[in-house]
Amino acid sequence: MRTSNLNTDGASAPAESLSYLPPPPVLLERPALFLDMDGVLAPLAATPDAVVPDARRTVVLRRLVERLDGRVAIISGRTIAEIDRIAERASASASGVHGLERRRADGSLDHAAAAPAVRAAVAAFERFARDRPGMIVEDKAVSAGLHYRGAPTEAAAVEALAHSLAAETGLALQAGHLVVELKTPGTDKGTALNAFMEEPPFAGAMPVMLGDDLTDEDGFRAAADLGGFGVLIGPPRRTAATFGLPDVEAVLTWLDAVEARA
């Protein structure tokens, strides 16, 4: 059985090998955990607002933060305000909008200035969604998102629009699971992970990134570059992650086990 999806040159292995991704170990030496929200800590829902706090998730996160001396950060495409709403501020360290927002363990904040073109992208998405039921436009100030989970047959049209707007505006195109996002350039989940790893309490620890989406691949690579690893949540696919878990329930069970053995 293969224990890694990476070839010796660091390239992703063929997709058929990914079914062999093993579960991550639970006994880790001084880990620093970086956790995506949707699809990892919380199940995917029909709309962003449909994801709500969960008592078990909150307890697991709070115990883990305490046991690991604060070496837990939630890194998400959501805003920090949304991360706090769903996780009930269980983690002081958090990064939102793919690294454009970041709150350190001491509570201090970094917030990138929005590219002016974000307003044009929001307006274009709103015009596009007006006559297409099931679309949701999300204005995050530093980025514009268009969710089409409620209208999956529009995928080709959504992707064509997003690529066209990215070329016109210079905004960074971030594709996700049934969502496209045009964001202020310059950050991703990998840059957020690297920034945390340069600061207390994360510095010198082994980074472990848990994610389910294409947006998490930058975090997987950053963790591996620093001597850690990525964990892909959900179905196998081409990935830079080394290990895998099937779903949110498995993630919470694994986090419980890590906390018990820390």
Residues with catalytic roles: 36
Give the domain range for residue 125.
Answer: 117-183
Asked, for residue 156, whether it belongs to a domain, the answer is yes
Domain of 58: which CATH number?
3.40.50.1000
pTM over 0.85: yes
Asked, for residue 15, whether it belongs to a domain, the answer is no
Asked, for residue 14, whether it belongs to a domain, the answer is no
Domain of 145: which CATH number?
3.30.70.1020
**Domain limit, last residue, from 157, 183, 209:** 183
8: buried, middle or exposed (CB in 10 Å: 19+, 13-18, 0-12)?
exposed
Query: Which one, of 242, 233, 195, lies nearest residue 214 by Cα?
Result: 233
Q: What is the pLDDT of residues 62-120, one digit of tens each?
A: 999 999 999 999 999 999 999 999 999 999 999 999 999 999 999 999 999 999 999 99
11: buried, middle or exposed (CB in 10 Å: 19+, 13-18, 0-12)?
exposed
Asked, for residue 178, whether it belongs to a domain, the answer is yes
Q: How confident is the model at residue 46 (pLDDT cuts 50, 70, 90)?
A: confident
My answer on whether 256 and 218 are in the same domain is: yes
**Domain limit, last residue, from 153, 183, 213:** 183
The tokens for 106 are: 């001491």
My answer on whether 198 and 240 are in the same domain is: yes
Average pLDDT over residues 160-170: 97
pLDDT attached to residue 13 = 43
My answer on whether 106 and 126 are in the same domain is: no
